[in-house]
Chains A and B, each alone.
Chain A
Amino acid sequence: METPSAAEPGRSVIFRLGWERYGLPLAAVLEVLDSPAGALRPLPGAPDWVAGVLSHQGHVRAVVRTAALVAGEDRWSQAATGQIILAELGGERLGLLVDQVEGVEVIRTAGPAREDGRRHAWHHGVLVILLDLGELARAIDTRARSGGQKL
């Protein structure tokens, strides 16, 4: 599947982490799943940014704490409940644990990139941080290497 550029405005899945809203390009999203209590099983010995594993349609998918990747580990103490965005990053299918998926929106007015390289957009009066899939995949690789683990 072709991965659209983060710089181009298009359809994004809007989700919430705490009070912040993020936009993930729809092209990377396969499905949105509910994560009721007990569905997500913790993985023994896994780093903190790994929420656990999820059995979905006969496959076991790793689920990462999105907040730990995009906002820093100390900033969010994300619970294991919420919703899981099943996405494909760098040829790997994995689950992104978010607080709540709010919908699919077309972000037309994306602003210039900030110092950290992220782009922001005002959508219906709400600030949305547009995530770059490449950046997210790199962050996961970096953490996996530093932790000596591979997803």
Chain B
Amino acid sequence: MSLSARAFASHLATALAPLAAGLAGFQAWPGERAHAALVGLGAGLLAAALVVALALRQAGRLAQRLETQAGQAQASAGTLTRLAKQVNVSAGEISRSMEELSRGAGAQRQLIEQTSALLGEMARSIERASRSAEDAARSSAEASAVAQSGGQLAGQAVEKMRGVFQQVERYAQRVFEFGERSKEIGNIVRVITEVAQQTHLLAINATIEAVRAGEAGRGFAVVAEEIRHLAENTSRSSERIARLVEEVVAGSQEAVQAAQASTQQLSEGREELASILDALKAIVTSVTAGSDRVQIINRLAREQIAGAAETVRAFDNIAQVAQKNSSSTVGALQAAEAQSNTLLEMTQQTALLGQMAASLQAEAARYRRAEIQDGNAERR
């Protein structure tokens, strides 16, 4: 269809000429009306041929413009195709990057989940440690209370021991005083014994003198004999008392020695109790310090638990963000793929458009060449 407008009009006139002749042949057709109609038709066709010729002329200019525009469109289509290809390449790269990003986001999410799980485990461990620390604090507090109670009891025991010690000392002092009094009694008894012995001796001598006096001393001899008997009884009683006093003195000495030994032992016991008291005080101090330390550990563990919980929450948030990022990456990947597909389709359509523009340009060019040839032929 590489026909110029003018040639087309000429051909159209040539084709229409027989038709006009035919129509003129039909002048025999009955009726003016038909004749007029046919004449009108021929005129119309001529007018149409003229209009078509004019249109073809305009079409020639249009074709020229079309050729130009088709060339431009073809160039644009090429540029577009190139750009689309570039975009497609970039979209592919983006897609690959997005895939890598998605994979990275997945790995990151897994790592975050693992880290979160580890942190959770660590938090549970810290919680267990905290519970152990609480138990230890409780035990430590109980031990401290027990040690303090023991210290108080030991102090009371020491006070009681002091009381017993003083009582034993008083008892020993009284026994000692009793022993001294017994010695005094012994001295008195010794004097009585000596007096009795002297009396006995005097009675013997009185008896001797009475016997020597004969009848005159008979009564006196009886009295002297009675005195001697009394002196003997006194002497025997004094001896018994002296023995008893010796036993009492010996007993009191033993009692004093036993009391002194008890006092010594009590003194040692008091020193030991004082040592025990000091040891208990040291234990109380140590246990209290330990309890304080355990409480500090407990508080630190609680703070660690709180920190770990916050860390877990932060990691959960990070995981959620990573999840969203992953989802967004997947969405972006899908969008990039869709965009890539669209670009591909657009590239194809652009290529098709380029082909169509090329065909149109070729047709317009042929049309232009035919028109130029027709013009040259007419001018010749």
A residues lining the B interface (CB < 8 Å): 11, 13, 26, 29-32, 34, 83, 101, 103-104
Contact = CB atoms under 8 A, between A and B. Distances in A.
Residue with the greatest number of chain B CB neighbours at <10 A, chosen from A34, A83, A103, A104 = A104
18 contacts: A11-B211, A13-B208, A26-B211, A29-B208, A31-B205, A32-B205, A32-B208, A34-B197, A34-B198, A34-B201, A101-B201, A101-B204, A103-B200, A103-B207, A103-B228, A103-B232, A104-B207, A104-B228
B67 interface: no
Interface of B: 197-198, 200-201, 204-205, 207-208, 211, 225, 228, 232
A133 to B, nearest CB: 15
B313 to A, nearest CB: 113
Given A103-B228, A103-B232, A104-B225, A26 B204 contact: no
Residue with the greatest number of chain A CB neighbours at <10 A, chosen from B208, B228, B232 = B208
Contacts of B201: 32, 34, 83, 101
Contacts of B225: 104
Contacts of A30: 208
Contacts of A103: 200, 204, 207, 228, 232
Given A26-B211, A103-B207, A104-B208, 10 more contacts: A13-B208, A29-B208, A34-B197, A34-B201, A101-B201, A103-B232, A104-B204, A104-B207, A104-B211, A104-B225
A83 B211 CA distance: 20
A26 B232 contact: no
Contacts of A101: 201, 204
B228 A26 contact: no
A11 B211 CA distance: 9
A131 B197 CA distance: 25
Contacts of B232: 103
Nearest to B225: A104
Contacts of A83: 201
A26 B205 CA distance: 11
Contacts of A26: 208, 211
A26 B214 CA distance: 12
Contacts of A31: 205, 208
Nearest to B194: A34
A29 B198 CA distance: 18
Contacts of A104: 204, 207-208, 211, 225, 228
A104 B208 CA distance: 8
B376 to A, nearest CB: 197
A100 to B, nearest CB: 9
Nearest to B232: A103
Nearest to B209: A31
Nearest to B221: A104
Nearest to B197: A34
Contacts of B207: 103-104
